Amino acid sequence: MFQKILIANRGEIAVRIIRACRDLHIKSVAIYARADRDSLHVKMADESYEISDDPLRGYLDADLIVEVALKAEVDAIHPGYGFLSENAHFAKKVQEAGITWIGPDSQTIAKMGDKNAAREIMQKNGIPIVPGTEPLNKHSTQEIAKIAQKIGYPVILKASSGGGGRGIRVVEKQEDLIESFNACKREAMAFFKNDDVFMEKYIVNPRHIEFQILADNYGNVIHLLERDCSIQRRHQKLIEIAPSPLISDDLRRRMGATAKAAAKAAQYTNAGTVEFLLDENNTFYFMEMNTRIQVEHGVTEEITGYDLIGRQIRIAQGEILDLTQHDIRPQGFAIEARINAEDVANDFVPNPGKITTYYPALGPFVRVDSCIYKDYVIPPFYDSMIAKLIVKASSYNLAVNKLSRALSEFTIKGVKTTIPFLMNICNDKDFRRGHFDTSYIESKIEELMPQTESKPEDDVVSVIAAALSARYGA
């Protein structure tokens, strides 16, 4: 049994992991950059270590994190998501230091992190993949143009080591191909230190469906149903739904079986996600495998009743998976809305600053995963997501109603947020009917934009929040 776990991350996922550790009576160790010294994860952890005065360097320094882990005498490291969570080099260093890595083996991370290697593994094992290529960097511009013509426009260029919506370019016509290829290479090198780029057939307006996987160290693999992540802006997810409101039981069974086969082909252990593109004819294609916990894991927890972070820790400790596929049954619908500190009217530019009022939504089957609090100052150095609002109900329609209600009560003042934009999505008839794909935001952006923002003096919830703050200091 682990006695102490270091969380190699920050923000809401670090808070989430600390809570899972507490549930299992395991001590937690936080690391933080100086800019994060007032962060909630630092306050909550049993031990905390400042690792850098630079806001980013410490979270990305594998050697430094391992050094702190050894100093703190931890048994294991949980990487969360982002930063070094899918870095095979970091995982290997952790394992070589005699510390347990809470995630898949470093070799698996390396294989699945290379999009081309992952495609090859899946293709060899009969997993359907989108028609595409090996890295194109050694090809001439004329050869790249011929390959694109053979695949057929539109095509999509992707960084081999990409993720999080970075290193992606959709090309509609030949005259834009080489410029897009060079731009994709530059972005790939800037974000991933690897400028390998490959090309795929671009599936027009698909649904983005992902299956949550759990696999122990003894060959047992299950999926915990799917999440529909089609509501995206610039390849960044905004809303996730579990299960998908428009997938039939038969399609769910087939996709789930394929997801498990993909995990077995990768010799996968711990928690991971197999991502698919689903076209208008219900034909699905393997897109990638994420070798970490996902931001949106909470909706899966809500519909299955299983703690995924807790399961990650228990699998890493060597426990045999005590679940079978027969045990996994959806219990209603759950929806997650990512709340970002962004100025929607100004092209969603990040809007860091001091939280002057914080009143999270409450009520039955409403969950908030967050790292902010009243008077917390959001640093300008990190991702703009500041909270995840998760609701659950017996039907998709009721879940949308609950999400709309919860968003209307959720009050954050001092910074601009995406809450009004998310409320408009809830009120859209196509979203309510489940009629959406990855083009949804782009096609409806003008009608979804908030027209006016409510004034604090007209906001009933703000008045309630102010009264509570004055009385309880919260």
Task: Establish whether the linkage from the previous residue to 154 is cis, with ω within 30° of 0.
Answer: yes
**Of 284, 267, 152, 149, the residue nearest 218 (C-alpha):** 267
Q: Residue 211 corresponds to which amino acid?
A: F
45/38 Cα distance (integer angstroms): 12
How far separated are the first and last CA of the chain, in Å rounded?
Answer: 37
102: its two tokens: 């809470």
Q: Provide the phi-psi class of 239: left if phi over 0, else alpha when psi is between -120 and 50, else beta.
A: beta
List b or e across 121-144, with b for residues whose CB sees 16 or more CB atoms inside 10 angstroms: bbeeeebebbebbbbbeebeeeeb
Cα-to-chain-centroid distance, residue 408? 24
Backbone φ and ψ of 273, nearest 5°: -135, 130
**Of 169, 62, 319, the residue nearest 77 (C-alpha):** 62
Strand, coil or helix: 194: coil
Q: What is the largest CA-CA distance in the chain?
A: 70
Among the residues of 46-159, which ranges form H helices?
62-72, 88-96, 106-113, 115-124, 141-151
Name 285's bridge partners: 277
Among the residues of 266-382, which ranges form H helices?
297-304, 308-316
- Residue 284: count other Cβ atoms within 10 Å of its Cβ: 21
Active site annotation includes 292: yes
Q: Residue 302 corresponds to which amino acid?
A: E
Backbone φ and ψ of 255, nearest 5°: -65, -40
Q: Which residue has the tokens 């905390």?
A: 48
Strand, coil or helix: 366: strand
Catalytic residue among 169, 252, 292, 314, which? Answer: 292
Q: CB-side exposure of 219: number of CA atoms within 13 Å?
A: 0
Residue 455 is given by DSSP the state P
Q: In what order do the strands lie in the sheet with 366-370?
A: 284-290, 270-278, 207-215, 221-233, 236-242, 333-340, 385-393, 366-370
Indicate which residues carry an active-site annotation: 292
